[in-house]
């Protein structure tokens, strides 16, 4: 069955580039947008965790959405992170994203205030009723302190037709099986962890919301396509080649390692906003060597 809403198989959680004053660098943002389209991203998420959302103002988030939407020119979908641990703030952000032309929304489980499962149902239900856009739920208990249960996800997607997918950042693969069993066939599951993409595909995920795709999008897309066309060994081999990069880019808090690599490629300047700090020289060199090895090995395929 076709997905209720198809944002594609490869979604990139997009960085927000800054200049040396830590202001948003909109020219670099346009370069990254074009680069991700070339790297075969089907969609991008703007102003998410990888985009350093906690340090962005509402005005910056809106300008980023408009900039990326304009530069993409329909070549990829633009998904706006409109989540919040305040339901009313999430509703306002979601309505504004719809007004500004976002193609879909990403909405995270509320963080810090640790709502119950009933609280999650009411939170996401209120957001879904406030907009017409497709909504991708984002379950990341390591950051939020709350794990949204498969039964809660199933309730939400059955009750609200515009809740169409979940980005699942929980390494317990049994939960993917439970979501598949409880949710309608047209509900979509995305891996929220690059290294779990292939395992999750094997039990019903559609694709990945990726960080590594900033520098290895074509390779990740190849892995997904090979798996889905029955070339399992080729997919597994690509996973093994990508795995060191998947792990290396999370050696320090995201997005500091991936920004170091993008800087090495000349796409952005290597700046993050406090409280994050740029990676040290040793890790930067290790990251570059890891990416160079991947490029050398995949060029031989």
Active site residues: 138, 167
Sorted by sequence, the CB contacts under 8 Å of residue 110 that are 6+ apart come out as 83, 84, 85, 86, 87, 119, 120, 123, 144, 146
Q: Is 96 helix (H, G, I), strand (E, B) or coil?
A: helix
Nearest to 177, CA basis, from 199, 161, 195 = 199
What's the rounded Cα separation, in Å, for the pair 132 and 154? 19
Residue 206 phi/psi, 5-degree rounding, is -90, -30
Q: Strand pairing partners for 105? A: 80, 135
Q: Is 62 helix (H, G, I), strand (E, B) or coil?
A: helix
**For residue 163, how many other CB atoms are within 10 A of its CB?**
26
Tokens matching residue 7: 């944002």
18: DSSP letter = B
Nearest to 107, CA basis, from 134, 146, 72 = 134
């Amino acid at each position: 069955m076709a997905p209720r809403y198809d944002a594609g198989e490869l979604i990139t959680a997009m960085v927000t580039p800054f200049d040396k004053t830590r202001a948003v660098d909109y020219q670099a943002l346009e370069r990254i947008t074009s680069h991700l389209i070339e790297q075969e991203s089907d969609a991008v998420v703007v102003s998410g965790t990888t985009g350093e959302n906690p340090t962005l103002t509402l005005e910056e988030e809106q300008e980023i959405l408009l900039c990326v939407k304009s530069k993409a020119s329909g070549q990829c979908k633009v998904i706006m992170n409109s989540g919040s641990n305040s339901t009313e703030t999430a509703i306002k952000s979601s309505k504004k994203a719809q007004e500004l032309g976002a193609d879909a929304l990403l909405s995270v489980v509320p963080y810090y205030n640790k709502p119950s499962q009933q609280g999650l149902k009411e939170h996401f239900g209120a957001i879904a009723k406030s907009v017409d856009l497709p909504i991708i739920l984002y379950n990341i208990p390591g950051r939020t302190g709350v794990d949204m249960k498969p039964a809660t996800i199933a309730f939400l997607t059955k009750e609200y037709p515009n809740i169409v997918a979940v980005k699942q950042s929980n390494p317990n693969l049994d939960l993917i099986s439970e979501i598949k069993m409880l949710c309608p066939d047209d509900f979509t599951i995305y891996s929220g962890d690059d290294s779990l993409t292939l395992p999750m595909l094997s039990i019903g995920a559609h694709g990945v919301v990726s960080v590594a795709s900033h520098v290895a999008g074509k390779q990740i897309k190849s892995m997904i396509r090979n798996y889905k066309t029955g070339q399992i060994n080729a997919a597994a081999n690509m996973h093994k080649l990508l795995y060191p990069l998947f792990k290396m880019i999370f050696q320090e808090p995201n997005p500091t390692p991936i920004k170091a690599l993008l800087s090495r490629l000349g796409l952005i300047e290597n700046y993050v906003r406090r409280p994050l700090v740029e990676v040290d020289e040793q890790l930067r060199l290790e990251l570059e060597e890891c990416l160079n090895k991947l490029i050398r090995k995949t060029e031989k395929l």
